[in-house]
Amino acid sequence: MSDLTAQTPSACPACAAGPMAKTVASGRKPEGKIVLSLPKIHCAACISGVERLLTKTPGVEAARVNLTLKRAMVDAGPEITADDLAQMLTRNGFEAYELDPGQLSAAEADKPARELLMRLAVSGFAMMNIMLLSVAVWSGAEDATRDMFHWISAAIAIPTVGFCAQPFFKNAWSALRNKRLNMDVPISLAILLAVGMSLYETSQSGKHAYFDAAVALTFFLLAGRYLDFRMRASARSAAQELAALEVPRAFKLVGGTEVLTPIAELAVGDIVRVKPGGRVPVDGVVEAGTSERDRALLTGESLPVPAHPGDAVAAGEMNLTGVLTVRVTAAGEDSSLHRMAELVATAESARSRYTSLADRAAGLYAPGVHILAALTGLGWYLYSLDLRLSLNIASAVLIITCPCALGLAVPAVTTAASGKLFRRGLLIKDGTALERLAEVTEVVFDKTGTLTEGAPELVSHTAEPEEVSVARALASGSAHPLAQALLRDTDGPAAVVEDLREVPGYGVEAHWKGLHVRLGRADWVGADMPAETATWLRVGSAAPVAFKFADALRTGAAEAVADLRAQGIRVTLLSGDSPSAVAHVASSLQIDDWRAECLPEDKVAHIEARRAEGARVLMVGDGLNDTGALAAAHVSISPATALDAARVASDMVLLGKDLSPISGALKTAQQSTRRIRENFTISTVYNVVAVPLAIAGLATPLIAALAMSLSSITVTLNSLRLK
Mapping DSSP to helix (H, G, I), strand (E, B) and coil, where does residue 108 land? Answer: coil
Helix and strand tally (H, E) in the chain? Answer: 25, 26
Distance CA 189, CA 173 (A): 11
Query: Which residue type is seen at 310?
Result: G
Rounded to whole angstroms, the Cα distance separating 65 from 77 reads 18
Query: Radius of gyration (Cα) for the chain, nearest Å?
Result: 32
Cα angle 384, 187, 181 (rounded to 5 degrees) comes to: 105
Q: How far apart are CA 714 and CA 405, in angstroms?
A: 8
* Beta carbons of 478 and 494 less than 8 angstroms apart: no
Look at residue 140 and give its three-state secondary structure. Answer: coil
Taking the CB of residue 275, how many other CB atoms lie within 10 A of it? 14
What single string gives the DSSP state of each residue in 170-215? HHHHHHHHTT---THHHHHHHHHHHHHHHHHHHHTT-S---HHHHH
Q: How far apart are CA 480 and CA 506, in angstroms?
A: 11
Q: What is the 3-state secondary structure (H, E, C) of 330-377?
A: ECHHHCHHHHHHHHHHHHHHCCCHHHHHHHHHHHHHHHHHHHHHHHHH
Annotated active-site residue in 446, 577, 626, 658: 446
Which residues on neighbouring strands pair with residue 261, listed in sequence order? 250
SS3 content of the chain, % helix, strand, coil (to 5): 50, 20, 30
Q: Which helix (H) or strand (E) holds 680?
A: helix 661-695
Residue 77: how many CB atoms within 10 A of its CB? 12
- Residue 446 among the catalytic residues: yes
Q: Strand 515-520: give its sheet, edge to edge.
A: 457-461, 545-550, 533-539, 515-520, 507-512, 498-503
Straight-line distance from the first to the last Cα atom of the chain, in angstroms, rounded to the nearest whole number: 48
Question: DSSP labels for 32-94?
Answer: EEEEEE-TT--SHHHHHHHHHHHHTSTTEEEEEEETTTTEEEEEE-TT--HHHHHHHHHHTT-
The C-alpha atoms of residue 708 and residue 701 are separated, in whole angstroms, by: 10
Q: What DSSP element (H or E) covers 260?
A: strand 257-262
Nearest to 693 by CA among 676, 680, 706, 675: 706
The residues annotated as belonging to the active site are 446
